[in-house]
């Protein structure tokens, strides 16, 4: 049976303008960082992408090195684009990135023109696309001149390989410099993708969100659930099948102290009082800070349904916000 998207999908999602642009992103976007690679089940990936789109999630976020193995998440996207989503291409925002290690040698990472353009060409081939909607430089490069990196993004946009370009993991000062260079080169940086959650606050100390507002850029948040800590997974300790137990990714077992678990339980109790799961409250909290979109990951369909459910209650009283700050600070 050919896939037919839910006719009412756009009534189920909130869409926000991205900075000073005409592009709207769904409040909840789907990231393909984990669980969409070559080691994962294609049928499960297919079910998750279908359900996401049926719920109004129009934005699928990738990078050249997502998998594992590196590149395989984009290959999965290419297969499912052909099987299910080709008729809906103009209703989708598909993004990719380059900046981290992708292949050996001096041209396989960072921010040179050589690397960025070569990487995007490979990404487009893997996904079977003529263009991506958004292409990011994935991380600042301390050695390549910013004029070269931003100039490569301009070239990519001018060639029609990306409709919009952005940056990722740039702090406030790096963002200001990138915007200045971009303005001099005549290209607009659409948004910055960075990590932010109830537990991860570096961007607040850096005033990054304020900087993005001042420069009329959008903001899209990855790891809004702090690598799964802000879910019900850790309420009773560290499960054997969790990322922390496996020491995979950035979440390490030693970082999950009994004190951190107590905070998770307190936040969960507060979420319950709001009629939400912990993950729903955590996503709602990030959206309440004025960001454009939150990127969620998923390993099963039910998680996507639950995450979109966070949009039913995204408002917090001053007392609730103060309570969250007290829990985190204690």
CATH number (domain holding residue 25): 3.20.20.100
259 assigned to some structural domain: no
Residue 264 lies in a domain: no
pTM of the full predicted structure?
0.95
CB-facing half-sphere around the CA of 155: CA atoms within 13 A: 15
Residue 39 in any domain: the answer is yes
Residue whose C-alpha is closest to residue 284's, from 330, 328, 321, 251: 321
Element (H, E) at 16: strand 15-17
Domain count, the chain: 1
**Main-chain phi, psi angles of 99, to 5 degrees:** 165, -40
Distance, CA of 102 to CA of 20 (rounded, Å): 32
- Do strands 15-17 and 24-26 pair parallel, antiparallel, or not at all (unpaired)? antiparallel
Secondary structure (3-state) at 300: coil
Helix and strand numbers, DSSP H then E, in the chain: 12, 10
In a domain, 290, yes or no: yes
Output the pLDDT for position 250. Answer: 60
In 58-168, the DSSP E strands lie at 59-61, 93-98, 132-137, 162-168
Q: Are 141 and 151 in contact (CB under 8 A)?
A: no
Q: Is residue 269 part of a domain?
A: no
**Inter-residue long-range contacts of 232-239, CB under 8 Å, 24+ positions, other chains counted:** 232/268, 232/277, 232/278, 232/279, 234/261, 234/264, 235/261, 235/264, 235/265, 235/268, 235/278, 237/261
Which of 29-38, 68-77, 237-246 is least confident?
237-246
Task: Determine the average pLDDT of the residues in 74-82.
Answer: 98
- Give the C-alpha separation, 128 to 112, whole Å: 24
Q: How large is the average pLDDT for residues 65-90? A: 98
Question: Would you state the pLDDT for residue 236?
Answer: 80
Nearest to 234 by CA among 272, 295, 279: 279
Average pLDDT score over residue span 179-192 = 98
- Which pLDDT tens digit goes with each residue over 235-264? 886 666 655 555 555 666 666 888 999 999
Structural domain boundaries, residue 185: 9-227+279-300
Instruction: Examine residue 253 and state whether it is found in any structural domain, yes or no.
Output: no
Average pLDDT over residues 206-235: 95
Does residue 40 belong to any structural domain of this protein? yes
Instruction: Give the pLDDT of residue 208.
Output: 98
Contacts of 15 (CB under 8 A, 6+ apart): 24, 25, 26, 27, 58
Q: Does the pLDDT value for residue 199 go beyond 60?
A: yes
Q: Is the dihedral angle over the CA atoms 327, 227, 27, 218 positive or is it negative?
A: positive
What mean pLDDT value characterizes the chain? 95
Q: Which of 76, 60, 70 is nearest to 98 (CA)?
A: 70
pLDDT at 247: 56
Pick the closest to residue 136 from 206, 203, 217 (CA basis). 217
**pLDDT in the model for residue 1:** 83
Return the structure tokens found at 26: 């769904």
- Answer yes or no: is 179 within a domain: yes
């Amino acid at each position: 049976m050919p896939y037919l998207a839910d006719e009412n999908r756009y009534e189920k999602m909130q869409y926000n303008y991205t900075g000073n642009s005409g592009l709207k992103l769904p409040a909840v976007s789907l990231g393909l960082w984990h669980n969409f690679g070559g080691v994962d089940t294609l049928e499960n990936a297919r079910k998750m992408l279908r359900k996401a789109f049926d719920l109004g999630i129009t934005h699928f976020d990738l990078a050249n090195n997502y998998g594992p193995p590196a590149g395989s998440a984009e290959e999965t996207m290419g297969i499912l684009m052909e099987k299910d989503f080709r008729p809906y291409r103009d209703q989708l925002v598909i993004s990719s990135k380059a900046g981290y290690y992708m292949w050996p040698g001096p041209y396989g990472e960072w921010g040179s023109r050589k690397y960025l353009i070569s990487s995007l060409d490979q990404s487009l081939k893997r996904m079977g696309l003529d263009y991506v909607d958004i292409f990011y430089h994935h991380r600042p490069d301390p050695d390549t001149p910013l004029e070269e990196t931003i100039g490569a993004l301009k070239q990519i946009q001018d060639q029609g390989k990306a409709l919009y370009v952005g940056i990722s993991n740039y702090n406030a000062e790096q963002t200001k410099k990138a915007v200045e260079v971009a303005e001099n080169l005549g290209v607009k940086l659409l948004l910055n993708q960075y990590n932010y959650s109830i537990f991860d606050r570096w961007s607040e100390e850096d005033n990054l969100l304020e900087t993005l507002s001042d420069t009329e850029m959008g903001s899209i948040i990855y790891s809004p659930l702090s690598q799964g800590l802000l879910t019900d997974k850790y309420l009773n300790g560290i499960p054997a099948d969790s990322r922390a137990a496996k020491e995979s990714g950035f979440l390490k077992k030693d970082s999950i102290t009994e004190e951190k678990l107590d905070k998770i339980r307190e936040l969960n109790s507060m979420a319950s009082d709001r009629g939400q799961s912990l993950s729903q409250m955590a996503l709602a909290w990030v959206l309440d800070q004025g960001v454009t979109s939150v990127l969620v990951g998923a390993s099963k369909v039910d998680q996507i349904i639950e995450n979109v459910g966070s949009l039913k209650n995204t408002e917090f009283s001053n007392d609730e916000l103060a309570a969250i700050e007290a829990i985190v600070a204690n």
